[in-house]
């Protein structure tokens, strides 16, 4: 971003904080959906700038965190095969499966390679025609277009030694699942700006209307988030429930039509299990039949796994906004980034990772990078 400092201006942050204090007359609970936003909130102490009656809770917006144990185990099974080169983004390697992680497989001699784009994996397949190359396609709607284009290119070019292990999930159904829960206390949402850059925000409009909740599409810098919170609180105080766009420099209502077209050409919407949450109807993407030869689950005829979550890890409750990392008895002791119990401590976007990195043992008196002001 060319003018990033403008979105981190402490004086503007204090001004927004004062305005928030002025308009807040009652308690409000707001969930930021994206894990990237969670890290900004914790790093810069955004939550400490808010009125005491405005609470931010952390949602399931971390694709690494919600990738189910069963799929991690399938990735480990494939990556352990001698004929396979397994390609993945780096943050998936430390996510614990039921018994070990991909990093352990790599240490044991598995050919696991970190890539920064799915097209890198396709090039590896072209360069190694005698090996099977599998790409771990994880993400929300944000990464789906690039992954879909890679699968499309593989089919068009007849690259038969490439396949993708797909674990794409969709944000709107997760928001509905949270709102439908009997434990729900969320009154408003900060929607993930990068997801809406691809998909737009028309999908959120019926949700806002059905559940009477304001939804504000929000960016990822401190002032983006503060302004997004202000817009949520203003709606709540005025009794409105609409979809508004704070992230106007990147998001339009209809989204990126070309990106949506390639996604719909390769993938279809399916029900998918979310780690720590359970199955959510119509909340994921799977490979269409005409691309099933490029579907790693089918190519390797993987069996279905039934794996129990760790009883010590409360990441499921954290992902649903019911609890915060500081409420976990294992946080910072039995569960650390070096020895994680759950994915929320592993991922660069996980809430537990954010708390550990930026607040650690100082959870009860964290420093605020943007200097909170009194109301």
Residues 35 and 58 in one domain: yes
The CATH number linked to 241 is 3.40.50.11750
| Residue 365 located in a structural domain | no
Residue 22, CA distances (Å) to 28, 30, 51, 183 in order:
14, 18, 9, 30
- Give pLDDT tens digits for 89-106: 998 998 888 889 999 999
The CATH number linked to 114 is 3.40.50.11740
- Give pLDDT tens digits for 20-77: 999 999 999 999 999 999 999 999 999 999 999 999 999 888 888 899 889 999 999 9
Going through 193-342 in order, the beta strands assigned E by DSSP cover 215-218, 243-245, 267-274, 278-287
Residue 44, CA distances (Å) to 160, 207, 260, 323, 371 in order:
47, 30, 34, 21, 9
pLDDT for the residue 328: 92
Residues 92 and 150 in one domain: yes
Residue 218, CA distances (Å) to 20, 124, 197 in order:
16, 36, 11
Over the chain, what is the mean pLDDT?
91
The better pLDDT of the pair 362, 261 is held by 261
| Residue 93 located in a structural domain | yes
CA 211 centroid distance within chain: 22
pLDDT for the residue 86: 98
Q: Rounded to an integer, what distance in angstroms lies between the CA atom of residue 72 and that of residue 78? A: 10
| Residue 347 located in a structural domain | no
Q: Rounded to an integer, what distance in angstroms lies between the CA atom of residue 295 and that of residue 216? A: 36
Residues 70 and 118 in one domain: yes
Residues 137 and 278 in one domain: yes
**Strand, coil or helix: 123:** helix
Band the pLDDT of 118: cuts 50, 70, 90.
very high
Residues 201 and 223 in one domain: yes
Residues 90 and 215 in one domain: no
Residues 184 and 232 in one domain: yes
Q: Rounded to an integer, what distance in angstroms lies between the CA atom of residue 282 and that of residue 266? A: 16
Residues 153 and 276 in one domain: yes
Instruction: Tokens for 252, please give them.
Output: 């339009």
- Give pLDDT tens digits for 301-344: 987 777 777 778 888 888 888 889 989 999 998 899 888 888 88
| Residue 224 located in a structural domain | yes
Residue 126, CA distances (Å) to 95, 154, 273 in order:
28, 10, 32
| Residue 324 located in a structural domain | no
Q: Rounded to an integer, what distance in angstroms lies between the CA atom of residue 72 and that of residue 310? A: 14
| Residue 124 located in a structural domain | yes
Q: Rounded to an integer, what distance in angstroms lies between the CA atom of residue 331 and that of residue 341? A: 9
CA dihedral for 237, 239, 243, 248, sign (positive or negative):
negative
**The domain boundary residue, chosen from 212, 245, 278:** 245
268 φ, ψ (degrees, to nearest 5): -125, 155
Residues 69 and 146 in one domain: yes
Residue 120, classified by CB atoms within 10 Å of its CB into exposed (0-12), middle (13-18) or buried (19+), is middle
Q: Rounded to an integer, what distance in angstroms lies between the CA atom of residue 287 and that of residue 297? A: 10
pLDDT for the residue 367: 43
- Give pLDDT tens digits for 160-204: 999 999 999 999 999 999 999 998 999 999 999 999 999 999 999
Q: Which residues pair with 244 in a beta bridge?
A: 216
| Residue 267 located in a structural domain | yes
Residues 6+ apart with CB under 8 A from 35: 58, 61, 62, 65, 347, 349, 350, 351, 354
Total structural domains in the chain? 2
Judge if pTM exceeds 0.85. yes
CA dihedral for 328, 364, 29, 33, sign (positive or negative):
negative
Instruction: Tokens for 170, please give them.
Output: 């969709």
Residues 17 and 55 in one domain: yes
Residues 13 and 39 in one domain: yes
Domain that holds residue 215: 4-62+171-245
| Nearest C-alpha neighbor of 194 from the set 352, 6, 28, 349 | 349
| Residue 354 located in a structural domain | no
Q: Rounded to an integer, what distance in angstroms lies between the CA atom of residue 313 and that of residue 317? A: 9
Residues 150 and 266 in one domain: yes
Residues 6+ apart with CB under 8 A from 24: 51, 53, 54, 233, 237
């Amino acid at each position: 971003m060319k003018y990033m400092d403008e979105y981190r201006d402490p004086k503007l942050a204090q001004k927004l904080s004062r305005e928030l204090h002025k308009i807040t007359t009652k308690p409000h609970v707001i969930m930021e959906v994206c894990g990237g936003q969670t890290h900004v909130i914790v790093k810069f102490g955004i939550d400490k700038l808010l009125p005491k009656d405005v609470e931010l809770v952390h949602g399931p917006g971390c694709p690494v965190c919600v990738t189910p144990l069963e799929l991690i185990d399938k990735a480990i099974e494939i990556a352990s095969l001698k004929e396979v080169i397994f390609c993945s983004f780096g943050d998936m390697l430390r996510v614990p499966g039921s018994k070990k992680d991909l990093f352990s497989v790599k240490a044991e001699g598995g050919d696991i390679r970190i890539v920064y784009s799915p097209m890198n994996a396709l090039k590896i397949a072209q360069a190694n025609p005698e090996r099977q190359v599998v790409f771990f396609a994880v993400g929300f709607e944000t990464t789906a277009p690039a992954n879909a284009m890679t699968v499309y290119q593989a089919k068009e070019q007849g690259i038969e030694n490439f396949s993708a292990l797909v674990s794409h999930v969709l944000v709107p159904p997760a928001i509905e699942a949270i709102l439908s829960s009997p434990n729900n206390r969320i009154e408003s949402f900060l929607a993930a700006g990068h997801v809406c850059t691809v998909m737009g925000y028309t999908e959120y409009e019926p949700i806002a209307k059905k559940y009477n909740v304001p939804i504000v599409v929000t960016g990822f810098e401190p002032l983006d988030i503060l302004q997004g919170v202000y817009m949520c609180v203003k709606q709540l105080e005025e009794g409105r429930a609409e979809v508004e766009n704070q992230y106007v420099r990147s998001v339009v209502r209809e989204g990126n039509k070309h990106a949506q077209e390639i996604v719909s050409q390769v993938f279809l919407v399916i029900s998918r299990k979310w780690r720590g949450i359970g199955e959510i109807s119509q909340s994921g993407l799977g490979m269409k039949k005409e691309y099933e030869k490029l579907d790693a689950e089918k190519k390797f005829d993987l069996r279905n796994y039934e794996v129990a979550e760790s009883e010590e890890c409360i990441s499921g409750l954290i992902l649903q906004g019911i609890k915060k990392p500081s409420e976990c008895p294992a946080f910072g002791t039995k569960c650390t980034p070096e020895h994680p119990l759950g994915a929320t401590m592993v991922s660069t976007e996980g809430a537990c990772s954010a708390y550990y990195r930026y607040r650690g043992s100082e959870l009860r008196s964290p420093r605020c990078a943007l200097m909170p002001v009194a109301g």
